[in-house]
Amino acid sequence: MAPLSGRRGDVGVCGVGGFIYAVGGHDGISCVRNVERYDPNTDTWSSDVAPLSSARSRVGLAAMDECLFALGGCDGTTSTNIVERYDPKMNMWLKVAPMNYRRAGAAVAVLAGFLYVMGGSDGESPLNTVERYSPTEDSWTICPAMGSWRENAGCTVFQDKIYVAGGRDDIHELSTVERFDIKTFRWSPVMPMKSKRNQAALVALNGFLLAVGGNDGITDLNTVEIYDYETNTWRHFGSMKFKHPGGGAGVVKMEQRDAL
């Protein structure tokens, strides 16, 4: 896979419209506001995407209604509650209603027409608070809090539930996993991962849940774990070529198959 045009970590990554977008991040010197788009069919990145309104890393990113939503982040000093929506057809970012809480490194998911944001850091400590955005009303509503305070957690929708895995609390990297059922409006614990994973990516692919990379508090990880919903178990699923803490993962359709 072709590399990005420049170095960046703590980047937001999301797939929409058959492309993968890399949004914001940190280039090792400062936060950046630029956005790049990856075409899996040509294995190329394009830099002709409109930038964010401000430079920030640890941005939450999600796709909804064929648009991208960039939530919160940190400018290097302060966490923000800013939310922006990107329309690929117009190549334009537009600010929408801000979140109730400032969040960097928050978990983000889209389910049943709502955009959910969970945890993150307000710049002083990790959060367990949860809120959801209604695009029709352009407003945020407070939801039940998670069982754990966590930032930099992996998050995805799997089996019609929101899964949040790993991350870090005030003291430790986490292996714990919990899921939110929008029908009961309750959080429940799931079998923990085999490894502690801060800044890991969580991806649903071909009926399974994959936890990719991260950091266990001692070293960066290149390992992958896979979760089986039927048996409520995690198992090791190989290793990547490179270690990936603070990276991102997205899934797009490629010639009748899913690609990660």
The amino acid present at 133, given as its one-letter code, is: Y
9 and 96 both lie in a single domain: yes
Write down the pLDDT at residue 35: 97
Residue 259 pLDDT > 90, yes or no?
no
At 40, which CATH number?
2.120.10.80
Question: Is residue 128 in some structural domain?
Answer: no
What total number of domains does the chain contain? 2
Write down the pLDDT at residue 174: 98
d(CA 23, CA 62): 11
CB 12 within 8 A of CB 25: yes
Mean pLDDT, rounded, for 1-14: 87
At 220, which CATH number?
2.40.10
- The per-residue DSSP string of 179-236 comes to EEETTTTEEEEEPPPSS--BS-EEEEETTEEEEE--B-SSSB--EEEEEETTTTEEEE
| Predicted model pTM | 0.90
CB 242 within 8 A of CB 222: yes
Write down the pLDDT at residue 245: 54
Question: Is residue 181 in some structural domain?
Answer: yes
| Residue 99, token pair as written in the block | 């979140």
Burial class (CB in 10 A: 0-12, 13-18, 19+), 140: buried
Give the range among 13-27, 132-146, 228-242, 246-260 with minimum mean pLDDT.
246-260
Which residues face 4 on adjacent strands? none
Residue 105 pLDDT > 70, yes or no?
yes
pLDDT confidence bin for 252, thresholds 50/70/90 = very low
d(CA 68, CA 38): 14
100 and 153 both lie in a single domain: no
Question: Is residue 72 in some structural domain?
Answer: yes
Question: Is residue 116 in some structural domain?
Answer: no
Mean pLDDT, rounded, for 56-71: 96
Residue 182 pLDDT > 50, yes or no?
yes
Mean pLDDT, rounded, for 40-67: 96
Write down the pLDDT at residue 241: 63
Question: Is residue 164 in some structural domain?
Answer: yes
pLDDT confidence bin for 93, thresholds 50/70/90 = very high
Q: What percent of the chain has pLDDT over 70?
A: 92
Task: Give the helix/strand (H/E) hosting 152.
Answer: none
pLDDT confidence bin for 75, thresholds 50/70/90 = very high
Backbone CA torsion sign across 109, 174, 215, 208 = negative
Question: Is residue 150 in some structural domain?
Answer: yes
Picking from 77, 106, 135, the residue at the C-terminal end of a domain is 106
Mean pLDDT, rounded, for 168-178: 97
25 and 76 both lie in a single domain: yes
Question: Is residue 251 in some structural domain?
Answer: no
d(CA 256, CA 21): 21
Domain of residue 67 covers 1-106
